[in-house]
Amino acid sequence: MKPSYQPLFETFTLGQGLRLKNRIVLAPMTNFASNEDGTVSEAELQYYARRSGGAGMVITACTYVTENGKGFPGEFAAHTDEMIPSLRSLADTIKGKGAKAILQIFHVGRNLAPGFVPDGDVVSASAVPTEENPGLTPRALTDEEIVSIIRDFGETTRRAIEAGYDGVEIHGANGYLIHQFFSPHSNRREDRWGGDVHGRLAFPLAVLREVKRVAAEHAKQPFIVGYRFSPEEAETPGITMEDTFVLIDALTGEGLDYLHVSLMDYRSEPRRGADASKTRLEWLQERIGGKVPLIGVGSIHRPEEAVEVLEKGVPLVAVGRELIMEPDWVEKIESGREAEIRTTLSRSAQQELVVPDGLWQAIMNAPGWFPVED
């Protein structure tokens, strides 16, 4: 291994003792491969097994905490105790390869595949449609329903503990329900769950506190609670970097084990709320100030790019699309074979790479998402 890559393979400890063997995280990525009944499929287990040998930590694709929180086909479930054996099969697969297993938990809210929610009852913070789907207006959740969903996040955390996960990641990014409550675009409420930027924090913080309460009550060993967030929205009104600084300040004050930014490119610059003298990732790391570990992500393909993220003071690096194209990415860097790393996707390589049919079709039908070659 090149000496310059050594920082990627230093150990790191999260929380009160969860030791990661290196600084590399498998990013959470939807794979559209679960069984019809919401259980984890054999194809999913094979997919994760193929990618869990190198990374120090694996964050699963998102799983839904309530029946009407499911957002797309082939998404595995965690909303009932009947799903615990299914959840355990995935945790065992990941941990059996040497990585720590983190279950990402979410509710889709309004940002879902059309016609996918039972009875068509699409819900959100407010009755505001997305700009991408203006014909679908969600129903604003009642206070009672909001409180129930908060409890559901806690119950899913308990299931994650019983299934053997090392932690959960609260999915507050990418336009899903928690994100919707924080966003001035989707949250127009005037009750205790809305208002100014501090009022819009009420739901995210309530979810976090419930998850932490359940973890403290049920976990018998170190159990990690992380939170993923999107730093900006394109919509007006929408989340700005200034809003996100308020979010970060609030989250770090709650004793989180890590924050995980959602970015398409770690080099991207702010739109609003901070100037372009620094990248978003640099602004975020500066604001966090080392109080909570940050996971950086976004278009990291070569090892030198991952090292660059660490050099910015960010302690952990998540790799997503690259680990689909090159499942042995970590191992090849560690053994000095980085010249063999694949950074494009061959149309004939599905079986070799162990990619489920649903994910493969999604990749092939989305030009520009992956660098696909014939």
List residues with catalytic annotation: 176
Residue type, 122: V
Q: Are strands 24-26 and 123-124 parallel, antiparallel or unpaired?
A: unpaired
Total number of residues shown for the chain: 374
Q: Which of 295, 291, 258, 221 is nearest to 55 (CA)?
A: 295
Contacts of 120 (CB under 8 A, 6+ apart): none
For CA atoms 132, 126, 247, 205, the dihedral sign is: negative
For CA atoms 294, 245, 143, 117, the dihedral sign is: negative
Helix axis angle, 241-252 relative to 280-288, nearest 10°?
A: 30
The structure tokens listed for 21 are: 């063997």
Report the distance separating Cα 315 and Cα 174, nearest Å.
Answer: 22
| Contact criterion met (CB below 8 Å) for 146 and 189 | no
